Amino acid sequence: MSTQNALLTILTEKINNDTLVLPTLPAIALKVRKAADDPDINLNEMADVIGQDPSLSARMIKISNSAYMSRSVKVSSVNQAVTRIGLRQIKNISTALAMEQLFVSKNALVADYMKREWEKTVDVVANAMAVLQIYIKRTKKRDLSLDSMTLAGLVAKIGVLPILTEAERHSEVFANPTFLEDAIDKMAGKVGANIMTAWGFSKEFTEVSESWRDLSVLPPQLSYLDFVRVGAAVSGQMESQKDAVMNLAIQRGALTDIHELDSDEFKEMRDNGKLIFA
């Protein structure tokens, strides 16, 4: 058996035996999500939860003052940030902001992959957010929300993490670019779906993580999956399928024309999206 197939075999066996070590959400994200699910939580109590993590607190204030929220008056406290963002959005936004903590490794090669995967993921997210904003402006429809879009884009490639972690454990054998690229291409979707299930995420997030590369998977209604695909195609991560992705997006109404992606409006929204994670 080739080394390349050996890595795939190990990953497949661990998935089938439910022994693949899946990443866990950062502790602060778990606390915020648990608090957000409490029907009796109020804004002040949520601010107290977020205030336990200085990094998340700072980023919440930053996002409250960003173009993401479309507000000109600046806020300076966690309480003000939580009030502006709102309890409904806090759950997804806090999870999204905390996820960068997962993309770390002690192995130099794997750490480099983690860094690049995070950067590519942010690029997908920023593009998808911009396309959704233009769609909402054009159609006035608000079935899909920007906070959920942000999180959906970030979990699209979450299946990469256990693959890289497995390679790190056997770095002398598997920490090889050729093996890693092949394993990521073939296994990331299935692993990602397992992670979404383990994290208790809804079907819409699981579907994005598992099927964003598989254009045969088409939800009956326009969904976050459509926008993630456009975001990935624009960022150069679906090169062989780019034309098909764009045609599908136009057919399903996510875009009216591919020239929307060349507009100054799209570019400004994309750049604003990236600033959230800078």
CA–CA separation, 141 vs 144, rounded Å? 8
In a domain, 43, yes or no: no
CA–CA separation, 120 vs 203, rounded Å? 23
Print burial letters for 159-175: b (CB count within 10 Å at least 16), e (below 16).
Answer: bbbbbbbbbbeeeeebb
For the chain, the first-to-last Cα distance in angstroms comes to 43
- Whether the full predicted model's pTM is greater than 0.85, yes or no, is yes
Please report, in tens digits, the pLDDT of each residue of the chain (278 residues total).
466 577 777 778 888 888 888 888 899 999 999 999 998 999 899 999 999 999 899 988 888 888 777 666 788 899 988 888 888 788 888 898 888 889 888 878 788 888 988 999 999 999 999 999 999 999 999 899 999 999 999 999 999 888 888 777 776 666 567 777 777 888 889 899 989 988 999 999 999 999 999 999 999 999 999 999 999 999 998 889 999 999 999 999 999 999 999 999 999 999 988 988 88
In a domain, 180, yes or no: yes
CA–CA separation, 129 vs 205, rounded Å? 15
In a domain, 54, yes or no: no
In the chain, how many domains are there? 1
Quick check: 57 and 80 in contact, CB under 8 A?
no
Domain that holds residue 200: 3-25+103-275
In a domain, 67, yes or no: no
What CATH code is carried by the domain that includes residue 109?
1.10.3210.10
CA–CA separation, 2 vs 4, rounded Å? 5
In a domain, 93, yes or no: no
In a domain, 150, yes or no: yes
In a domain, 42, yes or no: no
In a domain, 9, yes or no: yes
CA angle (214, 220, 222) in 5-degree steps: 80
